[in-house]
Amino acid sequence: MPDTNAQVLPGTLDMLVLKVVSVRPEHGWGVGQRLREASHGAFDVNQGSLYPALQRLMKHGWVKSEWRDSERGRRARYYRITRSGAARLAQERASWSRQVEAVSRVLEWAY
């Protein structure tokens, strides 16, 4: 495993999870996999944070879950984004972009 394994930046996990389930419904394990793949292995999300994050999102009503058969034929819980979740994601995304932009500007700043 690459040494570059990193923690997800604090405060961004919810946004990332929302993004993953917005593409298509995923089960918990799958969310972890997608995050790892999408970040090219940079984010190896601790499962102890992932499930609470999913529950948190559900609690807010941003994702909802349903049980169906997984690709292996075993029953699994799939999470899917809701309409308010999508709105939330857009919002988070916008604010994230602003921050990244701002941070970049500072870093590239020179006399």
The residue ranges of DSSP E strands in the chain, in sequence order, are 26-27, 63-69, 75-81
Residue 111 C-beta: closest distance to other proteins, Å: 46
For residues 34 and 27, give the distance between their C-alpha atoms in angstroms, rounded to a whole number. Answer: 10
Q: Phi/psi class of residue 88: alpha, beta or left (left: φ > 0; alpha: ψ in -120 to 50)?
A: alpha
Of 4 and 84, which has the nearer Cβ to other proteins? 84
Given the rule CB under 8 A, which residues bind other proteins?
Answer: 27-29, 33, 46-48, 51-52, 55-56, 58-62, 67, 70, 72, 74-77, 82, 84, 87-88
Of 16 and 54, which has the nearer Cβ to other proteins? 54
